[in-house]
Structure 1
Amino acid sequence: MKKQINTFLYYCMGLLLMANCGESNGKTPTPTPLAPELISSSPANGATNVLVGDLAIELTYDKNIIAPSAGHSQISIANATVTSVSASLTKATIQVSGLKKEKTYTLTIPKGVILGPAKVEAPAVSISFTTIAEQHITASLVINNPSPQAINLYNFLKENYGKKIISGTMANASWNTNEADWVYKHTGKYPALNGFDYINLYGTWESYNTTVVENWWNNKGIVTACWHWNVPCSQGSTNYAFYTKTGEHASDGTDFDISKAVIDGTYENGIVKANLQKIADKLLLLKQKNIPILWRPLHEAAGGWFWWGAKGADPCKALWEMMFNYFQERELNNLIWIWTAEPNDIVGSVNTWYPGDEYVDIIGRDIYNQTKAGSMLAEYNKLKNLYPEKIITLSEFGNVAGITEQWNAGATWSWMMPWYDYNRTNNTSSSNYDSTDHQYANIQYWNSVFANPNVITRDQMPSLK
C-alpha cells in the first residue's frame, strides 16, 4: 500500500512539473479579446429637442475601435442621410443630414460594422432621438403695409431660424464695413450681415450717405441698424452723450429726463421730436433705395446705463410707441423692429419693459464675457420661453463661447454679430488692420465660425430684392 501511495504522489508531482514547463514554454492559450461595448452616445438614446439639419452623432466605446469603409453603407437612419462615418481611438462619428423638426429618428449600426482590437465585432447599435418641435413664429410684420423687400427678409429669417445662423459684423463706430472687410481680408469670406449706427446723427460731420449701405445690399448682404441716441448733456449744453451720469460717465454723461421727453411741450419732448424727424429722414433715404432694415433702437434699455432706460420701464415703452407711431406716419415700411432684451426686463414675474408684440418683430440679446456654451444656452432658452412666437437673435456680443459650441448646445440664434474693435479696424490702411487679434472676436474665432456648415456667409445669400 505504501508503495502504491508513493507511486501516486510521484505521478501527481510529474503532472505539476509538466504544467509548469508548459507555462514556461509560453504554450498557455491567449484569451480572445472582448468585443467593444458602447458606453455613451451624443445625442443619447431617447434624447429630445435635438437640432435639425446636419448632425454629428458621436458613439463612445470602452476600447479603441475602427470602422472599415466596407461597412459604412450598412449604417442607416430612416428619412435622413448618412453623409460620412469615421472612427478615432474610442469614438465613432456618424454625420447625418436632412433632419426635420418634430420627427423621431433611429440610427442603426449592424453587428460587425464597428470593430475592436483584433477586429472583434462590436454588437449592433440602435440610437433613437426626437428633434425639436416646430416653433410657430409670427407670420407677418408689425408695420403697416411692409415693403416687399422687408417681407422677403423676414421670410428668409423665418425659414432659416433653427436651421442656420447668419454671420454678421458691426461697423466701426458708425457708417462703414471696416469690420466685415477685415474679416474678409483674413478669411476670404464676408459675413452675411453688417450693422450700422446713427450715433453721429446729432453732429454735422457724418452725412449718412447711402452708398456704403447700397453696396452691401446690392452684394446680397443684410443690413441692421441701431442708434446710440446722443442728446445734450444738460439743457443748453453743446456737449452730447447717450450714457447717463453714473459710474465712469458721472462727469460726461447726460441728465436728459426721458420721463419728460414723452410729455408734450417740454424741453425734452422738443429734442426727441426733432431727432425723430431727423432720423426718419435718413431712414427714408434707404426706403427709397428699397433696402429693408433690421431696426434696433433703444437697445439694452433695462440696463439703465443709457438715458432711455434711466427712469424705468413706462417712459421707455412710451418713447418706443412714440417712435413707432411716428415712423408709421412717415410710412417707413422697410423696418423690421427689434427689441433688445435685458435680464432686468423681468420685474418680479412680470415682463415689465417689453413694448408688446404689436410693436416688436424680433427679440435680440447683447451678451459679453460668457465663455461657457451652457451659459449662452440658458440666456437663449429664457428668451425662447418668454417669446415663443418671436425669432431670437444674438444682436451683439464679445468674448463668448464659440458659435459651434453654442449651436451644438441648442442656442440656435437667428444671427450673430460681435461688436467692433475700434483700434483694430478704425484705419483700414494701418498696420493694426493686418493683425488677426481682436478685442471681441479674433480671426481664430471667425475661422471656427466659418468652418461650421450651419453658418450663412454673404456668398451663400439669395437675392432678397
Structure 2
Amino acid sequence: MKRLIIAWTTALLLYGCSPERPVVAPVNPEASPEACQLLEFLHLLRGKYTLAGQHNFISDLSRYDSVVYAITGKRPAVWGSDFSFNALGENIAEYHHCGPMNLSSPWGECLLNGRSTEELRQNLVEEIKQRYAEGRIITLMWHCCFPSECNDCNGASIWTWQNRPSDEVWAELTTDGTPLNTLWKKQMDTVIPYLKQLRDAGIPILWRPYHEMNGVWFWWCNKPGENGFKKLWIMTYNYFTKEHGLNNLLWVWNTNAPRDKQGDEAGPYADYYPGSDYVDILAADVYHRDYKQSHHDDLRALAGDKLIALGEVGQLPDPDSYHNQPDWSWFMVWGYFINSQKTDSLTSEEAVRQIYNDPRTLTLDEIELSDGKYRLR
C-alpha cells in the first residue's frame, strides 16, 4: 500500500479546497473545489509517484482501457479522450491515427460509423461520469478543424504542415469581433455545453487544448512570440473561464518534446509558453522512446513551481529514463500504442507490465475518490 508520510497530508487533502484560496491555487481564481483539490493531490505526488494513463478514442471509449487491464490486471488512474472531428474526403484513412469520431475504429477498417457528433460527444460525457465514479482522473483534448470548418473537415485542415495560416489570417483569428474570430467562438461553442455538463456534475478536467503547438504539423503550430500561439491560448482561456464559467478545468499546456528532425521539427518550449498566469500544468508529448533528459529538465525549469506531465506517449519510458525523470505527474499512452511496446529484450506485454508494476507507478487501485477528493489508499 502506497502512502506519503507527510505531516500535513491529511489537512491538505481534506481542507485544501475550502472557500479560502487553497495551498496550491489554480490559475483560475474561480476554480471549483474539485479542480483545486485535484491540483493539490497532484502536487502531493510530485517527484514521488507517476500516475498511469491511457487514451481512448471517442468512437470506442473503452477499447484501450480494456487492453491495459488484459495485460496487467490493473486500470489506469488517468483516463483520456478527445472531442475529435468528422473526417471528410476520400483520404480519411490517412487520419485514423487520431481517431476521427465518424470512423468505426481508430485503427484497422476505418469504416464510417453513421453516428452524429452530438451522440458521440454526449456518450463521451456519460462515459466520463462513469469513469469519474470509479475514481479516475479525467483528461480531455481536441483535434479540431480550422475554425471556419467547425467540426467537419478533411484531415488536412488540421494537419496543415507548410500550409499553416498566414500572419494576416492569424491576426484575424485572434482579434475579437472579426468574422474569423466569430467563427472560432461558434466552433468553441460546440464543445462548451459538454464541458458545462461535467462542470455541473462536479467533475474536474485536465484540459489540454491545442497540443504540440511547438511542432510544424497542426494549423495552430509554429507560431512563436507574443502575437502567435500565446495569443490564441490566452483567448481560449478567457473565453472558457471568463465568458463561460468553466471553473472545473485545469489548464494543461501540452507541447511536443523538442526535436530537430528536418521537416518535422519541434521548437524550444519557451518560445510558445503563454505565461504562468494561464497554465496550471506543463506537459510534453514523447514518441519513439525519445526520453532525453533535457525534455524533462528543460520543462521542469520552465515550469518553476508548476507540475509537468507526459501528455501523450507512444512507447513507455525505459526504467532508467523513468527513474531519472521523476517529476512527470502522469503518462498517457496514445490509444493503440499500448499494443506496440516491444523492446530488444521484452515483449510488448512485458514492457507494459514492467512500468505498471514499478513501485513509482500509481494505478486506479492505489488511489481513491470520495466526497469529491482524491487520496492515496
Deviation at 1:419, TM superposition (A): 0.9
Q: Quick one: which of 167, 171, 175 aligns to 1:259?
A: 171
Coordinate RMSD, CA, aligned: 3.3
Match of residue 18 from structure 2? none
Aligned length: 311
* Range 262-271 or range 333-342, more displaced: 262-271
Find the aligned partners of 1:212 and 1:231 in 2 and give their Cα distance.
Answer: 27
Is the aligned partner of 1:296 residue 2:208?
A: yes
Q: 1:221 corresponds to which letter in structure 2?
A: R
Within 5 Å, which residues of 2 pair with 1:10-409? 139-172=24-57, 176-200=61-85, 205-206=116-117, 207=119, 208-209=121-122, 210-231=125-146, 239=154, 241-246=156-161, 257-313=169-225, 314-328=227-241, 329-342=243-256, 343=258, 344-346=266-268, 351-370=270-289, 375-402=291-318, 404-409=319-324
Distance 1:214 1:230, change over 3 A: same
Alignment-mate amino acid for residue 336 of structure 1: L
Asked if structure 2 preserves the Cα contact closer than 8 Å seen for 1:287 and 1:332, the reply is: yes
Cα separation, partners in 2 of 1:99 and 1:186, compared to 1, 3 Å: same
Name the SS for the 1:326 alignment partner.
Answer: helix
Sequence identity (%): 28
CA distance in 1, matches of 2:306, 2:82: 24
Deviation per CA, 1:217-274, whole angstroms, max 9, x where unpaired?
Answer: 0000110001111136879x96465534337xx7xx9889433211244442122110
1:407-422 equivalence runs, <5 A: 407-421=322-336
Q: Deviations over 1:169-192 (max 9, x none)?
A: 001366613211111122211010
Give the greater-gyration-radius structure (CA): 1
| Structure 1 letter corresponding to 2:359 | P
Q: Which has the higher strand share?
A: 1
Letter of the structure 2 residue corresponding to residue 298 of structure 1: Y
Conserved 8 A contact 1:174-1:200: no
Q: Is the 8 A contact 1:337 1:359 kept in 2?
A: yes
3-state SS, counterpart of residue 68 of structure 2: helix
Q: Letter of the 1:359 partner, please give it.
A: Y
CA contact (8 A) 1:376 1:411 kept: no
Which of 346, 362, 375 is equivalent to 1:456?
Answer: 362
> What TM-score do the two structures reach when normalised by structure 2?
0.73
Shift of the 238–460 alpha-carbon distance from structure 1 to 2, 3 Å rule, reads: closer
2:354 counterpart letter in structure 1 = S
Q: Distance in 1 between matches of 2:246 and 2:35?
A: 11
- Offset of residue 420 of structure 1: 1.3
- Equivalent residues of 1:234, 1:254 under 8 A apart: no
Per-residue CA deviations over 1:394-433 (Å, capped at 9, x if unaligned) read 111113532x3223224431001111128x8xxxxxxxxx
Cα distance in 1, alignment partners of residues 78 and 187 from structure 2: 26
Partner of 1:133: none
Secondary structure (helix, strand or coil) at the match of 2:292 reads helix
In the alignment, structure 2 segments of 5+ residues that lack a partner are 7-21, 88-101, 103-114, 259-265, 373-377
Moved over 6 A (4+): 97-100, 201-204, 232-235, 253-256
In the TM superposition, what is the alpha-carbon distance from 1:355 to its structure 2 partner? 0.7
Q: Give the superposition deviation at 1:392.
A: 0.9
| Cα separation, 2, equivalents of 1:215 and 1:412 | 29
Give the deviation of 1:303 after TM superposition.
0.6
Partner secondary structure for residue 155 of structure 1: helix
Partner amino acid, structure 1, of 2:366: Q
Query: How far is the alpha carbon of 1:352 from its aligned partner?
Result: 2.7
Relative contact order, higher structure (CA 8 A, sep 6+): 2
CA 1:289–1:377: 2 relative to 1, 3 Å: same
Q: Is the 1:296–1:340 Cα contact (8 Å) retained in structure 2?
A: yes
